[in-house]
Amino acid sequence: MEILSVNAGSSSLKFTLIELPFEKVVVSGTFEKIGIDGSFYTIKYNGEKIKKEVELKNHTDAVKILMNELIDMKILDSYDDLDGVGHRVLHGGDTYFDSIIITPEVEDKIEELFPLGPLHNPANLAGIRSFKEILPNTPQVAVFDTAFHQTMDAEEYLYAVPMEWYEKFSVRKYGFHGTSHKYIAQKMREILGEDKKIISCHLGNGASLCAIKDGKCVDTSMGFTPLAGFIMGTRSGDIDPSIIPYVMEKTNKTAAEIVTDLNKKSGMLALSGVSSDMRDIEEAYLNKDPRSVRAMNMYIKHIANYLSMYNTLLEGAEYIVFTAGVGENSDIVRKLLIDKFKFMGVKLDEEKNSTRGITGEISTEDSTIKVVVLPTNEELMIAKDTYDLINKE
Ligand code: ADP
């Protein structure tokens, strides 16, 4: 079956066509600057990348061009050849525990959740509606970033705030990166043949940890929004909320402007003064730039705090899994972090850890918790969920 995995942003649309059940990526690409001057798209196929500049007034223009390109390139014979479309949707609120076939009711619900995901849900829905317009008979599936975390207990997801904030305004922890953490949970089960107690560490520009037991999320570090948790590339992670009104008064900024500062101008970018990109920070760290050394030490300590918390919550984790840009590639971050747990017998095999592009176990035989590097694949997870739901119908 040919399944298209789609991630629609406000001015972009990323796609990957995957053949299932073989998990073969056929073609992928991105439409950029949709609705803005200078729009263009790129397509990667057979090891080649093409780029074309074209006017894209809206997402529907992008979908039309995409489908026609797939036919011109003889990847599909006709529109009907596409068996399903899986859409990444940021927020499923507390309604969606799993991916779901999109019906008009599901579209309404995604719209109802705009206040909880104001930057993403409207764009995700625009993508869904464009595909429905061009491919009215093709099944479409919504895959929510929050869904995997819906198994959290109220003891994990409630904040200690007036209960009516939760009851009337849905203020609670939702968690994000769920599709990635779910991929890690499923892949680990596939590799090990059973569910183990896992701490999944998705360390990218945005980053979160997830404690997983019996294949399900027990707790995760992001919260009501992706701003919560530990220090990220440009996000602050957890801070004392009283800082917000205090800085508003000092700077005459609005609450929304301060929240933007906390999302975009904080984290490793603010601490290092160098960059939000871990490659630049690593270089400055190795050159002993004092701010970058302090930033890196803080980053590691904050993640280690969450790792310790989840190790306790799971009553002894069996696996720590590193994934996403930093987790998959930064042997320095992995070493600094795991060294914090040497006192309890968690040990890295330094040679394996420093092998470029390694996947698999990087801990020693006698390590008390196994440490693994496993590349995430959110596009594949979206396509697999779509494939499974279509075949269940
Ligand atoms: P996102 O999807 O959140 O944008 P990614 O998972 O793509 O993030 O991760 C981006 C991060 O991964 C960046 O901070 C980047 O510096 C880091 N990264 C990528 N490659 C390497 C590498 N070889 N060494 C260290 N960090 C890396």
Domain identity same for 136 and 196: no
Q: How far is the CA of 215 from the centre of ligand 1 (A)?
A: 26
Beta bridge partners of 320: 199, 371
Q: Note whether 355 and 272 are same-domain residues.
A: yes
Is residue 179 domain-resident? no
- Indicate the number of domains in the chain: 2
Cβ of residue 284 lying under 6 Å from some atom of ligand 1: no
> Residue 387 domain-assigned?
no
Q: Which atom of ligand 1 is nearest to the CA of 281?
A: 16
Residues 205 and 139 in one domain: no
Q: What is the pLDDT of residue 144?
A: 98
User: Does residue 120 contact residue 198 with C-beta atoms inside 8 Å?
Assistant: no
The answer to whether residues 252 and 331 belong to one domain is yes
What count of residues does the chain have? 393
Report the pLDDT value the prediction gives residue 393, as an integer from 0 to 100: 77
Question: Which atom of ligand 1 approaches the CA of 376 most closely?
Answer: 6
- pLDDT per residue, tens digit, the chain (393 aa), is 999 999 999 999 999 999 999 999 999 999 999 999 999 999 999 999 999 999 999 999 999 999 999 999 999 999 999 999 999 999 999 999 999 999 999 999 999 999 999 989 999 999 999 999 999 999 999 999 999 999 999 999 999 999 999 999 999 999 999 999 999 999 999 999 999 999 999 999 999 999 999 999 999 999 999 999 999 999 999 999 999 999 999 999 999 999 999 999 999 999 999 999 999 999 999 999 999 999 999 999 999 999 999 999 999 999 999 999 999 999 999 999 999 999 999 999 999 999 999 999 999 999 999 999 999 999 999 999 999 999 997
Confirm or reject: Cβ of 93 under 6 Å from ligand 1.
no
Q: Which of 144, 177, 212 is the last residue of a domain?
A: 144
User: Ligand 1: does its nearest atom lie under 6 Å from the Cβ of 324?
Assistant: yes
Identity of the amino acid at 87 = H
Distance 55 CA to ligand 1 centre (A): 31
pLDDT of residue 99: 98
In a domain, 83, yes or no: yes
Ligand 1: does its nearest atom lie under 6 Å from the Cβ of 376? Answer: no
The pLDDT of residue 174 is: 98
Encoding tokens for residue 102?
Answer: 């999109």
- Whole-number Å distance between alpha carbons of 88 and 176: 12
Q: Which of 129, 144, 159 is the last residue of a domain?
A: 144
Contact indicator for 90, 10 with CB cutoff of 8 Å: no
Q: Does a structural domain hold residue 162?
A: no
Q: How many angstroms separate the CA atoms of 175 and 218, rounded?
A: 11
Same domain as 198, residue 138 = no
Q: Is the CB of 326 under 6 A from ligand 1?
A: yes
Q: Which pTM value belongs to this model? A: 0.95
- Return the CATH number at 327: 3.30.420.40
303 with 246, same domain?
Answer: yes
**Spacing, Cα 19 to ligand 1 middle (Å):** 27
Residues 128 and 257 in one domain: no
Same domain as 234, residue 140? no
- Judge whether 137 lies within some domain: yes
62: left (phi over 0), alpha (psi -120 to 50) or beta: alpha
Residue 182 lies in a domain: no
Give the closest residue (by CA) to ligand 1 atom 8.
Answer: 204
- From the CA of 278, how far away is ligand 1's center (Å)? 6
Domain housing 88: 2-144
pLDDT at 85: 98
* Ligand 1 touching residue 204 (CB < 6 A): yes
Pocket test for ligand 1, best of 278, 283, 303, 337 (most atoms within 8 A of CB): 278
358 in any annotated domain: yes
